[in-house]
């Protein structure tokens, strides 16, 4: 479980960085990534 938590936190931190970078240039792409981010936890559950 600890490994999974570390992997998830690392994954979300990377996604957050991507969202911040993209949201600065194109807000529309950031919206798409936020939609995908909601679907990601379903795979791990």
State pLDDT tens for residues 16-40. 887 777 667 666 666 776 776 666 5
Label residue 42 by pLDDT band (50, 70, 90).
low
Radius of gyration from C-alpha coordinates of the chain: 12
pLDDT of residue 2: 83
DSSP string, 21-40: HHHHH-HHHHHHHHHHHHHH
pLDDT of residue 5: 83
pLDDT of residue 6: 83
Stronger pLDDT, 14 or 28, i.e. the higher one: 14
Query: Would the pTM of this model clear 0.75, i.e. be above it?
Result: no
Instruction: Calculate ∠ Cα 14-36-32, nearest 5°.
Output: 95
């Amino acid at each position: 479980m600890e490994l999974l938590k570390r992997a998830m936190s690392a994954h979300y931190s990377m996604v957050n960085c991507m969202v911040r970078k993209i949201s600065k240039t194109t807000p529309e792409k950031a919206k798409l990534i936020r939609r995908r981010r909601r679907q990601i936890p379903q795979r791990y559950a």
